[in-house]
Structure 1
């Protein structure tokens, strides 16, 4: 005898992203390729040559990472000095942004050089070339802006614009929300409330 109740519905299982599907396969294929290339080079040139290549890659990669870290620290300290100096000093040291451009790809290239393997060394060396860094930086910026627009309907600037309350003349308004209960005089008896913490 049926009661007429609908069968229970279960929520649909979310689709697994392509990245989570193919990333483990890509990493496994990369490791197999690295090991195969190391054995081929060891068979052709000898094991000591492969060892020297790996040590040289590690040393060059660590020097590149150290240099990129110094550049990033120098750019950060220049930016902080400009902010402390105020608007007058902003025009004098405007090159800090230009110097730090490409630091992320420089650091990534150094890390890839430090990893043991010939493919990672080749990719790391390519990432050290400045035109490649600039091209990849523009591509990453366009991709990031597109993802932000798809998620929020506007660019990154629009997201920050919406996060602030502004007066019509463009000034940021600091304020607090005070709930005024019409039936009771408790709000006025308590006095002003402290501002909300940020």
Structure 2
């Protein structure tokens, strides 16, 4: 017994899922080829010194970026809750712009290979880092604005609560901080949470 419907076909693979593994494979081949060229010209000891030096330098860059991020987090947490946010941007925030790209640069320097070292060193240059930060921020904003309702982008723009029957209820929670005794039913302890 056959029906007139064709068999289901597998979804078509996206271009990104095809090109990214190919790009990584090409990157690895070029890295190995460059290391072999340097070893032929300068010797194996030079390649070893380059790889160890890259690991040490990359570790130092990541450590410095981590300390700056922790210092900025501490400063943010120690700010007074009622302080005005309209004031000029603190020096710590100007210093931390592109901190993620600083860490990425350190990680690329730590990876064995000369091409990744060059890209990592480019990420350490402040104008390049700020340019990458602005480009990434604009790109994310465009994607968030294009996001369809119900997608991850929409989740950042509105909070939703779901009732047990599946209906979506939009609203806000208002906390009642009365210190007077509870109602006349004798409930004095906290009530258990509602479960669906």
Given candidates 62, 65, 70, the residue that maps to 1:68 is 65
In structure 1, distance between residues paired with 2:153 and 2:34: 46
In structure 1, distance between residues paired with 2:139 and 2:89: 29
The alignment status of 1:151 with 2:147, answered yes or no, reads: yes
Matched residue, 2:23: 26
- TM-aligned CA distance change 1:103 to 1:27, over 3 Å: same
Given candidates 107, 117, 125, the residue that maps to 1:111 is 107
TM-score, L = length of structure 1: 0.72
In structure 2, distance between residues paired with 1:73 and 1:10: 55
Unaligned runs of 5+ in 1: 166-171, 176-192
Matched residue, 1:183: none
Alignment of 1:35-46 (within 5 A): 35-46=32-43
Matched residue, 1:186: none
Matched residue, 1:127: 123
- TM-aligned CA distance change 1:122 to 1:92, over 3 Å: closer
In structure 2, distance between residues paired with 1:158 and 1:96: 31
Given candidates 36, 40, 47, the residue that maps to 2:44 is 47
User: Which structure carries more helix by proportion?
Assistant: 1
Matched residue, 1:168: none
Matched residue, 1:87: 82
Aligned Cα root-mean-square deviation (Å)? 3.2
- TM-aligned CA distance change 1:107 to 1:40, over 3 Å: same
In structure 2, distance between residues paired with 1:12 and 1:149: 32
Given candidates 142, 158, 161, the residue that maps to 1:162 is 158
In structure 2, distance between residues paired with 1:12 and 1:67: 51
TM-score, L = length of structure 2: 0.73
Report the structure number with the largest CA radius of gyration.
1
CA offsets, 1:89-117, max 9 Å, x none? Answer: 75598444323211100000000000110
How many residue pairs are counted as aligned between the two chains?
A: 169
Matched residue, 2:54: 57
User: Do the aligned partners of 1:113 and 1:125 also contact (CA within 8 Å) in 2?
Assistant: yes
